[in-house]
Amino acid sequence: MQKAWTGMAAPMTAIAAQPALAEVVNLTNGADGQNEARGVAAVRGELVAACTDRGGKPDAASFEIVFEKTSDNPEMPKPYYVDGKMKCDLP
């Protein structure tokens, strides 16, 4: 009887532990900047803030630029636009 109870307890423990596993999500966002470096820094900061606001840990190594464009209008204060994505480990 002891072996049967142990055999039933192991799967129950594994099922109960499932919600404790972390989830990895991809966050995307965009930002403007005065040049390429400032645009990239702005979107990276937006993604890190979005991840930490959700209680997650940003994976800085996964940061990737998805789209970038420079405006033809030189009068714009922030003519450089960048879209980026980053992985976020949520609890």
What is the rounded CA–CA span in Å between residue 83 and residue 16?
Answer: 39
Total number of domains in the chain = 1
Cβ contacts of residue 88 below 8 Å, gap of 6+? 24, 25, 26, 27, 47, 50, 51, 54, 56, 57, 58, 59
Q: Which of 32, 91, 20, 16 is nearest to 57 (CA)?
A: 91
Residue 73: pLDDT band (50, 70, 90) is confident
Q: Which residue has the higher pLDDT, 1 or 46?
A: 46
pTM reported for the whole predicted model: 0.73
Structural domain span for residue 65: 23-90
Which percentage of the chain shows pLDDT scores above 70?
Answer: 77
Residue 52 lies in a domain: yes
Q: Which residues share a beta bridge with 86?
A: 27
Q: Is residue 47 part of a domain?
A: yes
pLDDT level of residue 4 (50, 70, 90 thresholds): low
Among the residue ranges 15-19, 25-29, 53-57, the one predicted with the least confidence is 15-19
